[in-house]
A and B are shown apart, each in its own frame.
Chain A
């Protein structure tokens, strides 16, 4: 299944947007569109929409985030009920694969944790074709799905270790035999990071070779990175900001850095199932989670919102953000993973 004909270098579309600049522009856009965002969603025609069905939501976002969102939506829409199936990405994808081959997708809405998954489902005509009106930035949505939460891949360092300033610091002597990375074969967010580094000419897949040559090891998930660094097993590592801040807030002795050229943004997109194209409740839910009100609930529950201007968990003032080119990554991921496994495999 290896697609050996594809080139190893990719067109560079990496956006290096200073977060401050982005933050300055987006509130203006928000204000401009303010009137529309508060209205109840309507589905064309004159009839009032019926937001009182029971819909099924499949998601991989954490329970702590999804429960308050569902509660708030159900409070706003008496009669509407959301049946939740929440599972890690691998289980979620297996469930969808099972559904599709046995009577059809049971979900009306899917809220995934990375765009690659969504691209696959759109390609199979399972999802998409409709997105709510939203002010979410264009980098975080397509015509078929809209980003409603973001994961940021950041660096963590252990107590007594000088925190890295840039990603490339991790290949230096100061971190020899002490860097830990999450396995992109296990965690989609790690695959996003692999995608970004491989696409940036300053890094390339060679970055992972340099890490490996510097004695870096892989563990399964970003949480294992956080745990390992907090326990002092490793000097520094690549993990997601939620996991790092959760540990730090609980008291774990770690430093969190948003390294240059930027923390890697992996957005969690939500989309309408093709079979739910007529469901007003499903559309209302998508509209809600992409609205300022829904984004506020998501942010207060501890996830990074996709909508700029909504204040969420910690982002340092001078932090930069970079984005992988997801469309290119979709075609490259199998080869990339194979290359990665050549480096970090046994």
Chain B
């Protein structure tokens, strides 16, 4: 087994080099900067007026969003698993819509849909005053996070569930609820936990939605304070404060994620024989209809109306005009779709595809290493850059590599990898329970080369997870703007940078048009992926070389 040991060493080497380059080095350089320039000010910064309430707001927001988004996303994944769910194919795509929209646009679309003088106010005379309060911020961050939870748990279900056991339990007289409680959810545990960690970290670092929606209520978080300091960072004190607060976020993330990963790690090392039976328990027809109604209501309220308001803004000549035909214009779309932007679009697609591909490899490698002692801590480590707001992470990379890579596509690529590594790693990690070492050994003993064994034994059951991870990284990178707008140089402008630069800043019509264009452009490949995933799921049973032998799991 020298080959396997060699492979393992190489994996550890690649991941270590990558983690040191894109995670550890920027963080250490930031810490060094604070130490050198502001060592004496750190105490003042950490006791500044208003910081304690910002820390409290940040923490409560992250807890509330995690508590709400995880059950919601899990429920959606469970409901959409039912083969008899009316409109299942449509809902599976609709649920992912928020991933296609930059978060500040999602926040704005909610204000337009439910705020004063918004969509519902104009049509029905009712608006939701809470939309511009911490409650509104929480709700929209939840809507933004639900697709991630859904993806991770859906992938977890595809890889981990035991339909045969669920059917057996039902046949033996178990109620649907008791099957859910005693079989489905425990099996799904690791995927749910990994989704919770990801959502918590993501929310700690969320900036645009609290800024766009929370400002009228004076709702400040660590991230809005960081931005305010960056805006004044020509003053070295404000710069030091911005970097210090960013490191404070990292510390909070470590304190929460490290124990979670330590608890999660052993659960991921459960070994079971892979089943390839992905058909699920159908459930009653009436239950399916109820579930479909619930999903439809959620989709309309959380995404349908806000996105409709967004489209209305994109096709209306000026803000404040009624979105009636005499006020319609395509100018906002023309501003997005001009020749100069075509080049940037090509660049963005290429950059996002490369980033997503690298990320899936790196995410998979971390997930593989995580199962062993030597890989401990890596999962936590690669989540740390996710907590940094984009502008601060970009700043960290600039501090570390600006000397050599400033203004190049390479530094933007590094930023995407640093920001999205956890996005790629966690879905794969949540599904990796299916990696059966016995089968790997069997394949190797039967004469398969290490790579062949991995390809045939490991990658095939993981395909849905790998595709999901690729998809979410690709889509997020495609409309990313906060990091690239700080890092770009001549010849490395991304689409979002060019569009938002050419619009007078804050021109909501053009920004809305950008989101609509990205949504439409992406829905086509997204549909393609969905069909591919479906095909893989269907084909799996027939492709399976050995008939599956279901076996009780040893969980927890």
* Contact residues in A for B41 (Cβ distance below 8 Å): 1
When C-beta atoms are compared, the residue in chain B nearest to A86 turns out to be B501
Q: Which residues of A contact B (CB under 8 A)?
A: 1-2, 62-64, 83-91, 93-99, 101-103, 106, 116-118, 120-121, 124, 158-159, 180, 183, 185-188, 191, 217-224, 226-227, 229-233, 242-243, 246-247, 250-254, 333-334, 337-338, 341-342, 344-346
Q: Can you spell out 24 A-B residue pairs with CB atoms less than 8 angstroms apart?
A: A1-B41, A1-B237, A63-B501, A84-B490, A87-B486, A88-B505, A89-B231, A90-B391, A91-B482, A91-B485, A93-B232, A94-B394, A99-B398, A103-B406, A188-B231, A191-B232, A218-B215, A218-B216, A221-B505, A223-B506, A224-B215, A242-B504, A246-B504, A341-B220
* Contact residues in B for A220 (Cβ distance below 8 Å): 211-212, 215
Contact A98 B44 (CB under 8 A): no
Q: Does B347 contact A (CB under 8 A)?
A: no
Q: Does B239 contact A (CB under 8 A)?
A: yes
Contact A106 B407 (CB under 8 A): yes
Contact A345 B505 (CB under 8 A): no
Q: Which of B498-534 contact A (CB under 8 A)?
A: 501-508
Q: Which of A117, A229, A254, A338 contacts B234 (CB 8 A)?
A: A117
Q: Does B437 contact A (CB under 8 A)?
A: no
> Considering the chains assembled together, what is the distance between the CA atoms of A62 and B391 in angstroms?
20
Q: Which of A1, A85, A251 contacts B317 (CB 8 A)?
A: A251
When C-beta atoms are compared, the residue in chain A nearest to B219 turns out to be A346
Closest-CB distance, A250 to chain B (whole angstroms) = 4
> Considering the chains assembled together, what is the distance between the CA atoms of A41 and B395 in angstroms?
37
Q: Which residues of B contact A (CB under 8 A)?
A: 33, 41, 44-45, 48-50, 53, 57, 112, 115-118, 132, 211-212, 215-220, 224, 227-228, 230-239, 241-242, 317-321, 327, 391, 394-395, 398-403, 406-407, 482, 485-490, 501-508
> Considering the chains assembled together, what is the distance between the CA atoms of A191 and B212 in angstroms?
18
When C-beta atoms are compared, the residue in chain B nearest to A217 turns out to be B216
Closest-CB distance, A81 to chain B (whole angstroms) = 9
Contact B228 A186 (CB under 8 A): yes
Contact B398 A251 (CB under 8 A): no
When C-beta atoms are compared, the residue in chain B nearest to A54 turns out to be B490
> Considering the chains assembled together, what is the distance between the CA atoms of A120 and B231 in angstroms?
12
When C-beta atoms are compared, the residue in chain A nearest to B402 turns out to be A102
> Considering the chains assembled together, what is the distance between the CA atoms of A346 and B482 in angstroms?
26
> Considering the chains assembled together, what is the distance between the CA atoms of A219 and B214 in angstroms?
8
Closest-CB distance, B122 to chain A (whole angstroms) = 9
* Contact residues in B for A97 (Cβ distance below 8 Å): 233-234, 239, 395
When C-beta atoms are compared, the residue in chain B nearest to A120 turns out to be B234
> Considering the chains assembled together, what is the distance between the CA atoms of A63 and B344 in angstroms?
16
When C-beta atoms are compared, the residue in chain A nearest to B235 turns out to be A120
> Considering the chains assembled together, what is the distance between the CA atoms of A183 and B488 in angstroms?
27
* Contact residues in A for B505 (Cβ distance below 8 Å): 62, 88, 221, 223
> Considering the chains assembled together, what is the distance between the CA atoms of A95 and B398 in angstroms?
8
Main SS of chain B's interface residues? helix
Contact A121 B317 (CB under 8 A): no
Contact A250 B395 (CB under 8 A): no
Contact A346 B220 (CB under 8 A): yes
> Considering the chains assembled together, what is the distance between the CA atoms of A215 and B275 in angstroms?
62
Supposing A84-B490, A345-B218 touch, asked if A247 and B318 sit within 8 A by C-beta, the answer is: yes
When C-beta atoms are compared, the residue in chain A nearest to B501 turns out to be A63
* Contact residues in A for B508 (Cβ distance below 8 Å): 223, 227
Contact B402 A99 (CB under 8 A): yes
Contact A250 B318 (CB under 8 A): yes
Contacts A338-B50, A341-B49 given; 18 further ones with Cβ under 8 A? A1-B45, A64-B502, A85-B488, A90-B230, A90-B233, A91-B391, A93-B233, A93-B239, A94-B230, A101-B399, A118-B234, A186-B227, A218-B216, A230-B320, A242-B504, A243-B504, A250-B318, A346-B220
Supposing A90-B227, A227-B508 touch, asked if A116 and B234 sit within 8 A by C-beta, the answer is: yes
Contact B489 A83 (CB under 8 A): yes
Contact B117 A233 (CB under 8 A): yes
Contact B486 A83 (CB under 8 A): no
> Considering the chains assembled together, what is the distance between the CA atoms of A327 and B104 in angstroms?
35
Contact A185 B49 (CB under 8 A): no
When C-beta atoms are compared, the residue in chain A nearest to B482 turns out to be A91
* Contact residues in A for B394 (Cβ distance below 8 Å): 94, 98
Contact B236 A185 (CB under 8 A): no
Contact B506 A85 (CB under 8 A): no
When C-beta atoms are compared, the residue in chain A nearest to B490 turns out to be A83
Contact A221 B48 (CB under 8 A): no
Closest-CB distance, B226 to chain A (whole angstroms) = 9
Contact B115 A233 (CB under 8 A): yes
* Contact residues in A for B234 (Cβ distance below 8 Å): 93, 96-97, 116-118, 120-121
* Contact residues in B for A346 (Cβ distance below 8 Å): 53, 57, 217-220
Closest-CB distance, B268 to chain A (whole angstroms) = 37
When C-beta atoms are compared, the residue in chain A nearest to B240 turns out to be A1
Closest-CB distance, A96 to chain B (whole angstroms) = 7
When C-beta atoms are compared, the residue in chain B nearest to A126 turns out to be B234
Contact B398 A102 (CB under 8 A): yes
Contact B231 A186 (CB under 8 A): yes
In the A-B complex, list the 7 residue pairs whose CB atoms are closest, starting with the nearest.
A223-B506, A98-B398, A230-B320, A250-B318, A103-B403, A120-B234, A185-B228
* Contact residues in B for A254 (Cβ distance below 8 Å): 320
Contact A223 B318 (CB under 8 A): no
> Considering the chains assembled together, what is the distance between the CA atoms of A99 and B398 in angstroms?
7
